[in-house]
Structure 1
Amino acid sequence: MARSKHYRRRAISLAVASLLSAGMLSACGNMIDRVAEIGKEPSMDPIQNPQNDPNYQPVSLPMPSPTADVRQPNSLWRQGSRAFFKDQRAGKVGDILTVVIEIDDQAKLDNKTDQARDGSNSAGLDNLLGYETMLADIFPDGIDAGNLVNSDSASSTTGSGTVDRSEAIKLRVAAVITQVLPNGNMVLQGTQQVRVNYELRALTVGGVIRPEDISNVNEINYDKIAEARIAYGGKGTLSDVQQPRYGQQVYDIFFPF
């Protein structure tokens, strides 16, 4: 039994040591990369086919039965067309359209919780067929059979949380059609990177759109994108200062209290 506990403690120690070693190696690698980039501008990602990304996943959604392209007899117009000779809006893989992002959200939450509890217990053994007189032989002198157990407990918990968030983003980004679904809906993905001095800002947008939601100037609002994924962030001097140090992040992960 003692040997099994020893092996269990040893296994736990090895697991914790492995996690710490992996975290330290990762942190050292990141520090080496950061040291190599001292005095240099943040590098931009190369332009590449999004389908070559290992994390790229084609969209698969429930699709209705396809509908035929209804044309009127002796008509030169095609259903959904915005131009006399050709529809200038994006409609096939590789086409480009503009995504208009105008987000102005606000949220404010304020919660507070107070909890307190007191408890006390006492127990005695005044008479038990005369066996209570034997307690003096087992316990130290001066034991009181009528007051064998006396315990008190108290706990108090106080919690408070406040969220005051305000976000305002107004951007326009060009996106590429990467997939056309069986019902005619299209999957788009776009990335934009802007570097100012030593700060790189990156905007990524993706999702599923309907052809009829594209305006006649080949634009679509972000709220018309289903399964929208919009990310706006960056890297550089300012972003680095706003992040806690690696040691602090590792400490926050493993410290249990």
Structure 2
Amino acid sequence: MTMLRTSLRHGLTAALLVALCAATPALAKKKKAPIQPDPDYAPTLSMPQPAPAVPNGAIFQASNGYSALTNGARAAMVGDVLTIALVERTQAAKSNGANTERNGSIGLTPPTTGPLSFFNPSDVAAGGNTSFQGTGTAQQSNSLQGQITATIAEVYPNGTMLVRGEKLISLNRGAEHIRFSGIVRAVDISAENVVPSSRVANAQIIYGGTGEIARASQKGWLQRFFEIISPF
């Protein structure tokens, strides 16, 4: 019995050392490496307009980047800057319940005379009942507010535009990043060149951070290790 306990203790110690060795480089890397810009959200620069192949003598030239006077300063071409107002707010709630009950009984009265008279009424009586009651609730809510300025990456033939960009914020206790991409319509762009995120199609919003505050909200590596091997 003593040898078994010793073996278990040595095995647990070895497992903890392996987990510690695996977690230490990741923690060191997480502390030293700052948030790096994502190439997928890099700003798109405007392309220079090509000169007309054959001047036709007209005042209007399609290669001059024509924009209607009613557009004002609204973004409309690849490389233009557009501000996205983050107004995300979602809330969901769900609840259910069930309650069942079933009762049954049976009883026979034996004759008072004859070969079966020795039975008592309680000997031939039976009954049973079952009941079940269950409830469940679930609630979830999310909220994100702020602004991020992105650039137009592509302009499609129907007038919609693909915008994407990111914002990196380094604070004294950590760093935060916001990455955004989606498709907007020209009619949804306000005079201030702002589009609410609720008007963006296929919106992808990534918000995260690193630092002391982010680490404090996470479980320790030893607790995660025990949760993996725990059978409960």
User: What TM-score comes out, normalization by structure 2 length?
Assistant: 0.56
The amino acid of 1:240's aligned partner reads: R
Query: Residue 151 of structure 2 contacts residue 165 of structure 2 at CA under 8 Å; is this kept in 1?
Result: yes
Query: Residue 200 of structure 1 contacts residue 235 of structure 1 at CA under 8 Å; is this kept in 2?
Result: yes
**Partner SS, residue 35 of structure 1:** helix
Q: Is residue 146 from structure 1 mapped to residue 124 from structure 2 by the alignment? A: yes
Alignment partner of 1:32 out of 12, 20, 24 = 24
| Corresponding residue of 1:231 | 206
Query: Residue 73 of structure 2 contacts residue 193 of structure 2 at CA under 8 Å; is this kept in 1?
Result: no
Q: Is residue 117 from structure 1 mapped to residue 100 from structure 2 by the alignment? A: yes
Q: Is residue 208 from structure 1 mapped to residue 167 from structure 2 by the alignment? A: no
For residues 219 and 112 of structure 1, the distance between their equivalents in structure 2, rounded to whole angstroms, comes to: 39
The amino acid of 1:199's aligned partner reads: G
| Corresponding residue of 2:34 | 43
The C-alpha deviation readout for 1:84-140, integer Å capped at 9, x for no partner, is xx9883412xx141323142747585x76554433333457999xxxxx9xxxxxxx
Between structure 1 and structure 2, the one with the greater Rg is 2
**Partner SS, residue 36 of structure 1:** helix
Alignment of 1:162-241 (within 5 A): 165=141, 167=143, 169-171=145-147, 173-215=148-190, 218-241=193-216
**Partner SS, residue 31 of structure 1:** helix
The amino acid of 1:225's aligned partner reads: V
Query: Residue 202 of structure 1 contacts residue 234 of structure 1 at CA under 8 Å; is this kept in 2?
Result: yes
For residues 178 and 154 of structure 2, the distance between their equivalents in structure 1, rounded to whole angstroms, comes to: 20
Query: Residue 122 of structure 1 contacts residue 151 of structure 1 at CA under 8 Å; is this kept in 2?
Result: yes
Query: Residue 99 of structure 1 contacts residue 174 of structure 1 at CA under 8 Å; is this kept in 2?
Result: yes
| Corresponding residue of 1:20 | none
The amino acid of 1:204's aligned partner reads: R
Question: Per the alignment, do residues 91 and 198 of structure 1 end up closer, same or farther by CA in structure 2, a change over 3 Å counting?
Answer: same
| Corresponding residue of 1:81 | 68
Q: Aligned-pair distance for 1:156? A: 2.4
User: What TM-score comes out, normalization by structure 1 length?
Assistant: 0.51
Query: Residue 82 of structure 1 contacts residue 216 of structure 1 at CA under 8 Å; is this kept in 2?
Result: no
| Count of residue pairs brought into register by the alignment | 187
**Partner SS, residue 235 of structure 1:** strand
The amino acid of 1:99's aligned partner reads: T
The amino acid of 1:205's aligned partner reads: F
For residues 176 and 28 of structure 2, the distance between their equivalents in structure 1, rounded to whole angstroms, comes to: 20
Query: Residue 41 of structure 2 contacts residue 179 of structure 2 at CA under 8 Å; is this kept in 1?
Result: no
For residues 117 and 88 of structure 1, the distance between their equivalents in structure 2, rounded to whole angstroms, comes to: 63
Q: Aligned-pair distance for 1:205? A: 1.0
Identity %: 20
**Partner SS, residue 162 of structure 2:** strand
Structure 1 residue ranges without an equivalent (≥5) = 1-23, 52-73, 128-132, 134-143
